[in-house]
Copies of this chain bind each other. A is one copy, B any other.
Amino acid sequence: MTLSVLPVTGLPEVRRGDDIAELISEQTALQDGDVVVVAQKIVSKSEGRVRDLATVEVSDAAASLAARLDRDPRFIAAVLDESIRVVRDERVLITQTRQGFVCANAGVDRSNTGRPGAVTLLPEDCDASAVSLRRRLHELTQVSVGVVISDTFGRPWRNGICNVALGVAGMAALIDHRGESDDDGRPLETTVVALADEVAAAAGLVMGKTERVPAAVVRGLGDGVRGDGRGSDLVRPANLDLFR
């Protein structure tokens, strides 16, 4: 199995209401079994998940947190609006988002928003966005693909950000090897692989941060693309979380 990771280039600046599936399918010849990885940023823009900081109301809590972190109070307020829980607020603000993700600034981002003073927010429901992208890609191309909506997250203990999967459709998010045996015939123990996160990371290698490559195609996963997982499968439930 040889895997290819192809950047999708030539996309215009995405605006609210744009049909991302159409934009992508115009730029690339999709094949059955491909996984289309799309940066959260353009999904959010097409869904209108962009907020003008000037319109954000700043609570007292947001103001005092912003002062302590030396950040724009309206940016911090926008982050708190997207959060159900603050995980850490030293130096960086790490929260759990309404979607369940734990990440810096709740995924609220000032870069590449398309207009000054605006921030992008994560899609309201990344899995629903992935399902609808997948359906629309099928409608346009008659091709059956997996879809991953990705963003770059930092990690505890490790420097640097990595692309991870927020929304998943048409493929497994996790592959569970438990019950299988290793090459010595010994049962594999805790071997659930975060397939969709590895797919997102592979796509990250061609997507870049500054070039306009907001999507990529991962081709050749073979049996990797089956099942019908969700990005929410990748979110560890609170009762199993040792790093609250």
Interface residues of A (CB under 8 A from B): 1-7, 13, 88, 90-92, 94, 101-102, 104, 110-116, 152, 154-164, 173-174, 177, 180-184, 186, 188-195, 197-199, 201-202, 204-206, 209-210, 212, 218, 221, 224, 233-236, 240-243
In the complex, which residues of chain B have a beta carbon less than 8 angstroms from the beta carbon of A173?
160
In the complex, which residues of chain B have a beta carbon less than 8 angstroms from the beta carbon of A90?
242
In the complex, which residues of chain B have a beta carbon less than 8 angstroms from the beta carbon of A202?
3, 5, 198, 201-202, 205
Contact of A198 among B2, B7, B162, B221 (CB under 8 A): B162
Q: Are A212 and B183 in contact (CB under 8 A)?
A: yes
| A181→B209 CA distance, assembly (Å) | 9
Q: Are B192 and A159 in contact (CB under 8 A)?
A: yes
Q: Are A114 and B205 in contact (CB under 8 A)?
A: no
Q: Are B191 and A161 in contact (CB under 8 A)?
A: yes
| A6→B4 CA distance, assembly (Å) | 9
